[in-house]
Amino acid sequence: MFGQLVEIPIYMWGLSVSLPVAFGATAITHPLMWFGIFGPYWHAGYVTKAVTGELFAWLGEAAYFAFFFGKRRAWLWSLIANAASLGTSLLSRHFFGVP
């Protein structure tokens, strides 16, 4: 959910998509990220998991916008959105201990 709060407004503004379309991208990738990458089976540090997860989300969300909605700059805006999400989550973890 933390990533969605950061990414959805970026997608809405950068790609000129509606709230449901922007939410759809994160709704697809975030459950896979949290139950797969952050699940109990991969024993890696938080930063490793977060970077891996955001790279996965970048590619998945970019593909969603490019292929389903024909957005030409989907790869760039997905990179920006997921970098912002990663940065804010790392800052939140550093200063507040969450997520």
Sign of CA dihedral 34, 94, 56, 77: positive
What's the pLDDT at 57?
94
Decide: 89 and 50 in contact? Cβ < 8 Å.
yes
- What is the distance between the alpha carbons of residues 47 and 61, in angstroms, rounded to a whole number? 20
- What is the distance between the alpha carbons of residues 24 and 21, in angstroms, rounded to a whole number? 5
Residue 2's pLDDT band (boundaries 50, 70, 90)? confident
Q: What are phi and psi of 38, to 5 degrees?
A: -95, 10
pLDDT digit string, tens, across residues 56-78 = 999 999 999 999 999 999 999 99
Residue 1's pLDDT band (boundaries 50, 70, 90)? low
pLDDT digit string, tens, across residues 3-36 = 899 999 999 999 999 999 999 999 999 898 889 8
**Taking residues 40-63, what's their average pLDDT?**
93
